[in-house]
Amino acid sequence: MARTIAKDHDEKRAALLKTAATFFAENGYDRASMNELAKACGVSKALIYHYYESKDALLFDILHSHLTELLESVEALPPSEDPHRGLLALTQAILAAYRDADAEHKVQINALGTLPEDSQRALRAIQRRLVAIMSDRIEATAPDLFASRPELVRPVAMSAFGMLNWFYMWHRGGGDLSREAYAGLATDLILGGLERIAQGKAVTLETSR
């Protein structure tokens, strides 16, 4: 007979994922034990294994849920007639999705590579989709430049993610820029840099060709 799913299954799973992400972020995935995780979650280890067959399966669900929610939030963005506004909307959406997800983000950076290859492939496919979306929006802001320098699209897209992905490391709220303001700053830095390249004013890029 198939196991009956409790009505609060999704809520318990979500709470477990959130606590586990925080625990892995604070203690390191490799060093974290399931016994200590169960204590942190306030449940038995048997209950964790009721949901997940292994520690790797739990980590995969943390990262898959995080990346899927991020992808869904950016794919839901409407098209923009103004490419600059479109890029701003994307950076704002990414930083908004990162809100309250510092632990998941840290675990993604530090622990994704510990998963089995098939699990890594599934997660990296989502990451590639996110990079493709960023690349498309960046390319739309300077089509003439990228038509002549298509090799720059990916480096600029990855640089944009670099600015956004490490926001959690230094942002402490209070007197710092808000997420919305930082999204604007990051967008302006990208657009300003592209403008300098298009004008032939890049500091070092032209010498590396």
pLDDT at 19 over 90: yes
pLDDT given at position 174:
63
What confidence tens digit (pLDDT) does each residue in 78-110 have? Answer: 999 999 999 999 999 999 999 889 999 999 999
Q: Do 37 and 20 meet the contact criterion of CB atoms below 8 Å apart?
A: yes
Tokens linked to 155:
């480096």
Among the listed residues 19, 8, 11, the one whose alpha carbon sits nearest the alpha carbon of residue 43: 19
Greater confidence, 202 or 62?
62
Q: How far is Cα of residue 59 from the mean position of the Cα atoms in its chain?
A: 15
Predicted TM-score (pTM) above 0.85: yes
What confidence tens digit (pLDDT) does each residue in 193-203 have? Answer: 999 999 988 87
What is the pLDDT confidence band of residue 205, given thresholds at 50, 70 and 90?
low
Structural domains present in the chain = 55-202 (1.10.357.10)
Tokens linked to 41:
């979650």
Whose tokens are 């701003």? That residue is 88
Q: What percent of the chain has pLDDT over 90?
A: 77
pLDDT at 59 over 80: yes
pLDDT given at position 208:
47
Contacts of 122 (CB under 8 A, 6+ apart): 60, 64
29 by Cβ neighbours in 10 Å (0-12 / 13-18 / 19+) ranks as buried
Q: Considering only 11-15, 52-56, 159-163, which range has the smallest mean pLDDT?
A: 11-15
